[in-house]
Every structure is written in structure tokens, then in C-alpha cells.
Structure 1
Amino acid sequence: MSSREIAVLTGKQHFHVKRDIEKMLADLGEDPSKSGCTYLDGQNRQQTEYLLDREHTDCLLTGYSAAMRMAVIKRWRELEAQVAQPRELSRMELIQLAMAAEQEKLLITAERDQAVATKAEIGSRREATAMATASAAVRRANQLEAELGRNTRHATVTAVESALGIHLGKQGFRPLKKYCKDNGITPEKVPCPRYGKVVAWPAAAWDHVYSINLSVAFGGSA
């Protein structure tokens, strides 16, 4: 019960009720600020009031007249009766509560679906990024293979010997060179760690001279 309501019930000035409460709490060794709170008066100014439980209200009333005590006691009984017998909700209030519960349910469902969709989208993006990265890596690897003369279009003697585990000898390139010269083909040159650049002979030359299929030799790399 607030000190303002006690003032109304007892007919005392609110200032006097607050003074009595402060004295009572001081005698009990309690901090008045723990029971105090603020409100706006009629002129929109901040004022202080005190909120007391039943025990502190009874203690305060011991210094008041019997008529004042009785007025407050009756008010306490009214408040307790309201708590003991809660008001039955109207049909409209029941509908509003049901609608609020349904809205909360829909909100939770929407948030869950959004979280699932976001997780799926992130997963798809990661997968697409990984696939793109892998594809780029494959293209780069193929490009390096081509630059080193190890693919289905052309290959160096060293690359073929390494891939097939054979040895064509120091003059193994000459039949390939003759084939290119006879057919007007200019073989490509590719980087070589040892010699700077070496000749990569075309697939047709390998097939014609040594019956070597570069697609088979290098696992179908392009």
C-alpha cells in the first residue's frame, strides 16, 4: 500500500504520512530508500512516496487513532479479496489472449524457418564457392600441365617417358622432328626447369611414330 493511499484513507497530509514512515523505518533500523519510489504530482513534478507491505503498514498504524486504523484495515481486506478471487475474464479478453498466443507461436515458427533458410543459403554459398575454387584449381593444373608439355595436345619426350616408364634414348626425338618437318607442323616449346624451354611434340607425331596415345598416357587431361 502506498503512502499516498494511506494519507487518503486516514485523512492525513501525505507529507505527514511520509514523515511517520521515515521515523518508523529509522526506529526499525531499515533504509527508507528501499521502500521509496517517485511519481509525478498534478503539476508534473517528481515527488517521493513509500510502498509498504502489510506488516509495515500495521506497524505504522499503531500510532494512529482507532478510526484511522480501521479505515486502512478495511482497505487491506478489499485488496486481499481481489487477489483471492480474481476477476473472470470476458470473452473479448479471452480472444485477445488466444490471438496473442497464436501470434507468438507464428513468430517463433517464422524465426525458426528463417534460421533454417539462412543456414541452407550459407551452406549453398559455401558449396558453390568450394566448387568454383576446385574448378579453378583444376583449370590451373591443366594449364600448368599444358605449359609443361604434358597433355593430350602435345608432350615432351621427358614427360612421355616419365608417364609411361619407358626410355626412348637420346635420339628419340628425331623421328618426331622428321614427322613434323614432313607434315609442315611447327611444334610448340614449353618451359623446362633444366633447359629453359624444350620442344613439346604434337599428339599426331606421337601416335604416328611411337603409336602412343597422349590421352591414355596422361589420363585424359585436357
Structure 2
Amino acid sequence: MRDIRNVLEQAEIEAAQFCAPCKLPSGQTAQAYLLPRRECDLVVYGYSVKYRLAIIDRWRELEEKQQLQIPQTLSEALLLAGRLAAEREAAAVSVNRDPGASLTSRLLR
């Protein structure tokens, strides 16, 4: 409980909003924290070096995938333009496939 309070305090998150009474098997009532995923992860990161390392590795992997690959030659630029045009056309065809369908049903496909 102390660790949870300390971590949330350092993150400037009000711990009281997650505190709730919990009935123990003995019939007594104690305080417990009902933390959402984000706050649970925050607490766990402090304990597990392996967990933190896995997060850092995944974050870097996602950043590398997001880096914009600028074409270096005319042929690379034309290939990229063609691929993007094909993706747009495919998306337009799938949306227009059933003109009688509602927008909601199209989005739920």
C-alpha cells in the first residue's frame, strides 16, 4: 500500500480516487487499491527491471517502424506513389462495395 501511494504521488496522481473498502475473509474491512491498467503498469515498472527493459525495447521497435522512409531516387518515389494510390483505391472500393449499407455497418466490417 505504501509503495502504491508513493508511486502515484511521484506521478502526481491522486491515490484516493482508486482506494476502496475491501471485506476480508475474517469479516473485517480493509482499504485496497483498485488500479486501472495504466496505474498498475506504473507501479510494476518500478519493481521489474526485465519488464522495464521489455517496454523500452518495444518502444524503440515501434519508433523504428514509424520513421518516415523518404525515397532517395525517382524510381523509389514513383513506387511509393503507386503503392499509396493502390491502397487508397482499395480502400475506396471496399467502402463503396455496398452503396445501400449504412455508414455504421460499413465501419463495423
TM-score by length of 2: 0.42
Structure possessing the higher radius of gyration over alpha carbons: 1
TM-score by length of 1: 0.21
